[in-house]
Structure 1
Amino acid sequence: MSLPADIVIIGSGMGGATMAAALAPSGRRIVILERGEALADTPAARDDVAIFRDGVFRPEEQWLDGQGQPFNPGNYYCVGGNSKFYGAVLLRYRAEDFAEMHHLGGISPAWPVAYAEFEPWYQAAEEMFQVAGDAGEDPTEPRHSGAYPRPPVADEPSIAQLRGYLQKAGVTPSSLPLGVDIEAWLERAKTPWDAFPDTTGAKKDAQTVPLQHALSYPNVSLETGCLVERLAADADGRISKVLYTQGGKARTLEPQLVVLAAGAVNSAALLLRSVDDARPDGLANSSGQVGRNFMNHNCTAVLALHPFRQNTAVYQKTLQFNDFYLSGGPENAPLGNVQLLGKISANILAAQSGLPRWMAGLIARRSVDWYVMSEDLPDPESRVTVENGQIRLDWKRSNWPTHEALVTRAKEVFRKAGYPLVLSRAFDRRTPSHQCGTARFGADPRQNVLDLYCRSHDHKNLYVTDASFLPSSAAVNPALTIAAQALRAGAHIKERMQAA
């Protein structure tokens, strides 16, 4: 079966949905293929036991690790993708992240474009997602050509006090730029939003904002329950077919243009599966770089406790500090970002730690919960492969000395801020902490999969606009950078269409 489509977008997460919004005014027939379904607004959506203990939203999927052992990766397959569960943090990469940066564990490479090239697209993405923030609070914040569309989400009383404690401890707390309508979120239920699925449109996620906008155009349609099996290319290298299954039936689309945005691991796996006689190593892979340079932020959860300070916050996630982002480590090396987590409850802590619930409750009521994040460096041997149809992710964690130094510095700050007990636990590979880098962009087709606008060097009608394109992971959440690049690439595609 062949359906009419000028443009096929594979994936409705941040990269795919934003690209759909960018291209919707073109008038071309756009079909978005999403593997999952739209989330229903069930009680489980705001139930911390269902989410964190029972894992009701986690897919029943197994990947293999570097030793060939199966694990559940924790990616989400639904309309809007992983953004439905994200912490709604929409940070720009720092300007310095676009240049070569020396870390304790190696070198983060320079981008093929400078921050100045990205800045207008960051501004456009912030306006699209109606980001709430204040660019004047953080000294590492890069230049903005405009203000944030909305003022910062208010600190709750316990967090307002925390801001003062941090200032006395010698760091510079700043408001996290967030994509959330806090009143609408709390109206549904008094819970955090970090790792909770958005089912009512209160988060500014890929479904709520760009996908909804794209679908307001009559030339754009969304097909759910679609598992794309492979892409096919003709003798000239043009992607001629998208082959997928829907409802147990094999289907085919024959578009003029394909945008792949299934996520850094799944996009690489799809390209590697799409072998043919002329391309035994898969599509878009003349460089041999598809699936390589996988990165996943080095992250640790840190709980700062004071026995006599009750934390009454509901959502908590409004602060960060970047005092050690560009310096502050051994040899004055850069370390990374420290931001609040969504408030950890007794049920969440018990589920994650195995502690009795009564003990978890004592801790949770007295803790301030932090997400400490540092950069994972690209390594060609850290990679995605496909073995007998199964995804294998051999993640070679890098730059760990930097992360250990950041955790140490953060703990010192929390103790100076009056929290005598500080607990920490590193995230493992089951938590997808911003997977990226498997189809990096760059001008040299011998070293890179994509050109500067995320078009395949090998296939002139194939673009990849998820986190695969990132040549470095930086040390902040990548969602806004993915959206900015999708808008930038979308504008480029429209210019090409008009010139054709």
Structure 2
Amino acid sequence: MTKTLEDVDVLIIGAGPSGSVAAHTLAMAGMSVVCLEQGDWMSPNDYPGNRPEYELLQQTQWNPNPNTRQRPADYPLNVSESDLSPIMFGAVGGSSILFGAHWLRLKPSDFRLRTQDGICDDWPISYEELEPFYSRIDAFLGVAGLGGDPAYPPQDYEMPPHPLGKGGVRMAQAMNGLGWHWWPGTQAIPTFKHKNLAQCVRWGVCESGCPAGAKASFDLGYWPHAVVAGARLVTGARVREVTVNAKGNAEGAIWIDRNGAEHLQKARIVILAANGIGTARLLQLSKSAAFPDGLANGSGLVGKNLMLHPNTEAVGLYDDDVEGWRGPAGQLMYSLQFYETDAARGFYRGAKMNLMPRPGVLSVLREFDDLPFEERWGQAIHHLDRYAGHALSWAANIEDLPEESNCISLDPDLKDSDGIPAPKVNYRISENSWKSIDYMLDRMVEMHQAAGAKHIFRHRLWTEQPGHLLGTARCGNDPRQSVVDRWGRAHEVPNLFIVDGSVMVTSGAVNPTATIAAWALRTAEHIIETKRDFIG
């Protein structure tokens, strides 16, 4: 039997960055809010970064790939038809538990690729419309950065940037010699204590959870404030279906608790914040007589145009100590030198490149995997081990252009632990992206050469990075060509909103969380302004 729960004003599905921003904003406005999250609260004491076996734990229970990790909150992914294995994390705070907190905005050009480059579609909003929401999120989280980057319109930060460190200073000199753009890293990691966030201790283990509680993962950066404002967060709640009433409006959601019992949470407004894979999956699961192809899928675009930001990397090992263990990681610096389209390169758009530390001995030893056994182990390991702390990584976040063939669908056989169909990922890297990957990899090798690296290793493709899940329920003005409107409202379901990365029309080449959070804030405030349409 399904237990029906008391109606609320707003039901949010997903407690990651977008869900937490929406929950806080709506609860602060006096609306009754319930958020359903399939994962649990995480404790900084559980994170592996302050344990000697840190690197081993990263390969097993703290692996970013849910198919490897297999925590109770995870659901499996069929990636047999995908060039990448998307990563995500089910928990309060979502995948921000594992993000490096790189915090960059889309550039103005990212919103108008059709107008500027004659490709893809323009967004229904501009950078200028989203800019004040970017700034307010930055201030709330205590984002650390340096204003004045000439690659962006004017912006500034209340927190100063983190130090470049020895490696950053060395690379900055090399970049100056090349005459290429670079800027100190912008991070959602406060430089000093901020609200309930501790001061960063620069351990460089950000991407497996911050043991110091300094990184603004959204379980720390937003959820405590949302709970104080009155939002109710239910953990261990796996949503099976968004229900609709006779009028075709969203009615609520059926969810399953850890004991297997079903519940129906009714609400006057439903918000999806389950990421670009989870939201598409849930819309496809929510079939009815009114929506036989999935909820809000009259355009046929739910699940399509998946963008994942393929990453390429060049690792440099240096004879000098470059403090390769010192964080944040995070980015010591970034470069937008090759961000915009340059026809002479032979492909559209470009990449954001970021310099990161490379903490850990095993991560350095893995670079020598191609050597014969006798040159890697035994006495030889002491020769290679001297590069621990001497490694720096340049990684390029490649702009992924939307293609309908890259998509999420429901797998006919694979199920999660509650028997719900799991997502199947169909994703192939385009010829345009491969050209960009190879071009950027050559440029990053040049950067290491200019900085005097002793050994340089190329990793053409990270198959399990990053966790940028975008585009599967795109926004737009035309209901035939989009799933939601410029406010995130589903064209066909007036009380259903989407606030995660699935709304993005194009991906840009920067890490998307700042844009997702700004969009969520803007949508939540629009809901407040129009709430009489739903609540009376």
Does TM, scored on the shorter chain, surpass 0.5? yes
Q: Which amino acid aligns with 2:354?
A: Q
Which residue does the alignment assign to 1:321?
Answer: 335
Aligned to 2:362, the other structure's residue is in SS state helix
* Offset at residue 330 of structure 1 (A): 1.1
**Residue 486 of structure 2 corresponds to which residue in structure 1?**
452
Q: CA RMSD in A?
A: 2.7
CA contact (8 A) 2:437 2:460 kept: no
Residue matched to 1:49? 55
Q: What's the CA shift for 1:497?
A: 1.5
CA deviation after TM superposition for structure 1 residue 354, in Å: 5.4
Partner of 1:485, secondary structure, is helix
Residue 391 to residue 333, structure 1, CA distance change in 2 (3 Å) = closer
Question: 8 Å contact 1:156–1:313 — kept in the other structure?
Answer: no
2:180 corresponds to: 171
Distance (whole Å) between structure 2 residues aligned to residue 67 and residue 294 of structure 1: 13
Q: Take 2:87 and 2:5, find their aligned partners in 1: how far apart are those partners?
A: 32
Other-structure match for 1:156 = 165
Q: Classify the secondary structure of the residue corresponding to 1:133.
A: coil
2:410 corresponds, among 359, 378, 386, to 386
Q: Please state how far the C-alpha of 1:135 moved relative to its aligned partner.
A: 2.2
State the match for 1:8 in structure 2: 11
Give the drift of 1:447: 0.8
- Cα deviation, 1:412-453, whole Å, max 9, x if unaligned, reads 232123235321214444334411110000010111000101
Judge conservation of contact 1:39–1:78 (CA < 8 Å) in 2.
yes
Alpha-carbon deviations, 1:203-229, whole Å to 9, x = none? Answer: 1121112222111123x1111000001
Task: Measure the CA separation in 2 of the matches of 1:406 and 1:338.
Answer: 8
d(CA) in 1 for partners of 2:134 and 2:82? 39
Q: Deviations over 1:309-329 (max 9, x none)?
A: 544551153211111112566
Question: Quick one: which of 11, 26, 30 aligns to 1:23?
Answer: 26
Amino acid in structure 2 at the alignment position of 1:394:
N
Distance 1:154 1:72 in 2: 33
Is the 2:55–2:360 Cα contact (8 Å) retained in structure 1? no
Change in Cα spacing, 1:483 to 1:462, as seen in structure 2 (3 Å) is same
State the shift of 1:114 in Å: 1.4
Residues 466-485 of structure 1 mapped to structure 2, 5 A cutoff: 466-485=500-519
1:367 counterpart = 2:391: yes
Question: Is residue 135–residue 141 contact of structure 1 (8 Å, CA) maintained in 2?
Answer: no
Given the superposition, is the C-alpha separation of residues 201 and 306 from structure 1 closer, same or farther in structure 2, using an over 3 Å criterion? closer
Per the alignment, residue 488 of structure 1 pairs with: 522
- Give how far 1:351 is off: 6.5
Gaps of 5+ in 2: 371-375, 413-420
Greater mean deviation of Cα atoms: 204-213 or 463-472: 204-213
Letter of the 1:40 counterpart: S
Whole-angstrom distance in 1 between the partners of 2:211 and 2:254: 30
Q: 3-state DSSP class of the match of 1:154?
A: coil
How many angstroms apart in 2 are the aligned matches of 1:457 and 1:481?
Answer: 22
Aligned equivalents of 2:473, 2:394: Cα separation in 1: 31
Distance in 1, Cα, partners of 2:16 & 2:213: 15
What is the aligned-residue identity percentage? 26
Partner of 1:225: 236
Aligned to 1:94: 107
Partner amino acid for 2:441? V
1:260 maps to what in 2? 272
1:306 corresponds to which of 283, 308, 318? 318
1:346 aligns with 2:358: no
Deviation string, structure 1 residues 306-362 (Cα, Å, up to 9, x no partner) = 334544551153211111112566159542111022433213345688585837634
Structure 1 CA distance for aligned equivalents of residues 198 and 392 of structure 2: 20
- When residues 410 and 108 of structure 1 are mapped into structure 2, their CA distance, relative to the original with a 3 A threshold, is farther
Aligned to 1:421: 455
Q: Is the 8 A contact 1:238 1:460 kept in 2?
A: yes
Structure 1 residues 333 and 267: alpha-carbon distance in aligned structure 2, compared to 1, 3 A threshold: closer
Matched, 1:122 2:134: yes
How far is 1:371 from its partner? 1.6
C-alpha distance in 1 between matches for 2:82 and 2:441: 30
What are the superposed Cα offsets for residues 47-74 of structure 1, whole Å, 9 maximum, x if unpaired? 42244222336541431125499x9743
For the residue of structure 2 that corresponds to 1:341, the secondary structure is strand
Match of 1:250 among 262, 275, 283: 262
Q: Structure 1 pair 107/304, CA: closer, same or farther in 2 (3 Å)?
A: farther
Distance 1:308 1:189, change over 3 A: closer
Deviation for aligned residue 1:130: 1.4
Shift of residue 27 of structure 1? Answer: 1.4
Deviation at 1:81, TM superposition (A): 0.3
Match of 2:417 in 1: none
Which amino acid counterpart does residue 97 of structure 1 have in structure 2? D
Corresponding letter in the other structure for 1:383: C
- For residues 338-390 of structure 1, what are the alpha-carbon distances to aligned partners after superposition, in whole Å with 9 as ceiling and x for unaligned? 10224332133456885858376344432211221111110011000002323
Distance, in Å, in 2 between the alignment partners of 1:360 and 1:391 is: 42
2:397 aligned partner, one-letter code: M
Q: Which moved more, 1:490-499 or 1:95-104?
A: 95-104
Change (3 A) 1:72 1:308: closer
Q: Deviations over 1:243-291 (max 9, x none)?
A: 0011221111010011110111011001101111232211010000000
Partner of 2:78: 64
1:274 aligns with 2:289: no
Match of 1:294 in 2: 306
Q: Indicate yes or no: 2:89 matched with 1:76.
A: yes
1:131 CA displacement: 1.0
Whichever residue aligns with residue 264 of structure 1, its letter is G
1:193–1:342 CA contact under 8 A, matched in 2: no
Normalising by structure 1, what TM-score?
Answer: 0.91
Paired residues of 2:21 and 2:521 also in contact (CA < 8 A) = yes
